[in-house]
Amino acid sequence: MSAEDTLKQVAEEVSVCTKCPLHHSRKKSVPGEGPANAQIMFIGEGPGFYENEQGRPFVGASGKFLDELLGAAGLKREKVFIGNVVKCRPPGNRDPMPEEIATCGDYLERQIAAINPKVIVTLGRYSMGRFLPNAKISAVHGQSFQANGRLIVPMYHPAAALHQPSLKADVERDFASLPALMGKAKDAPGYEEEKKEEEPQPPEEKPQPKQLSLF
């Protein structure tokens, strides 16, 4: 199955999923969105009020801030994949429970396997916990960790940063370092570049080696 078809399939399953108790209170589940060949994925916690209404990730206040952060890092929202560790809104925006995260994790794993991004940015503790279970966010935010041939970059959640000015400066600095980290990920061993569905290009004309003249 192509990466695109896998993403569609996951989104269809998520839209009618009843595997965990979060389905009772959701209005719309939020599978996440972005192109199948995205080089970077942003994984948040779970849908909030507006996401639950619209079925789209990060469309409320956190989303507005995320859009600003992406813009400052030179990234276009439509070129990145944005998702969450749980696809249905926890009632009253409570924290997702470990069993809910584990149950929903299968969808996230299939999305990651299909997209095979170079970089995964985790937003907040719950998302970080899926990839770096023993890390402390205050100690590791903005750093990058190699895992399965890609880089995991934990960051503070935009909602937390909106409420705490000191975290806001941190998250802005961490996002600003993303272009350099993406360059680093490209050079990392184990990453397979071949993800784009582009027309085959004719081979480039090689410049002839120039004869060096001493005079």
Can you give the binding site for ligand URA, defined by CB under 6 A?
A: 44-48, 51, 57-58, 62, 84, 159
89: contact with ligand SF4 by CB under 6 A: no
> 198: which residues sit within 8 A by CB, 6+ positions away?
none
Here the tokens at position 9 are 């399939």
Tell me the closest approach of the beta carbon of residue 30 to ligand SF4, in angstroms: 9
User: Which of 39, 41, 65, 87 is in the footprint of ligand SF4 by CB under 6 A?
Assistant: 87
Cβ proximity to ligand SF4: between 16 and 214 the closer is 16
Cβ proximity to ligand URA: between 60 and 142 the closer is 60
| Torsion 91-92-96-97 (CA) sign | negative
Q: What are phi and psi of 30, to 5 degrees?
A: -125, 95
| Residue 85 binds which of ligand SF4, ligand URA, none (CB < 5-8 A, kind-dependent) | none
Nearest Cα neighbor of 50 from 68, 72, 66 is 66
| Residue 86 binds which of ligand URA, ligand SF4, none (CB < 5-8 A, kind-dependent) | ligand SF4
23: contact with ligand SF4 by CB under 6 A: yes
Tell me the closest approach of the beta carbon of residue 78 to ligand URA, in angstroms: 16
Tell me the closest approach of the beta carbon of residue 7 to ligand URA, in angstroms: 17
Cβ proximity to ligand SF4: between 17 and 159 the closer is 17
* Terminal-to-terminal C-alpha distance of the chain: 61
Tell me the closest approach of the beta carbon of residue 91 to ligand SF4, in angstroms: 12
Report the 3 state secondary structure along 105-139. Answer: HHHHHHHHHHHCCCEEEEECHHHHHHHCCCCCHHH
| Residue 88 binds which of ligand SF4, ligand URA, none (CB < 5-8 A, kind-dependent) | ligand SF4
Q: Where are the alpha helices (DSSP H) in 16-123?
A: 49-54, 61-72, 98-115
30: contact with ligand SF4 by CB under 6 A: no
29: contact with ligand SF4 by CB under 6 A: yes
Interatomic CA distance for residues 42 and 122, integer angstroms: 6
20: contact with ligand SF4 by CB under 6 A: yes
86: contact with ligand SF4 by CB under 6 A: yes
Interatomic CA distance for residues 113 and 115, integer angstroms: 6
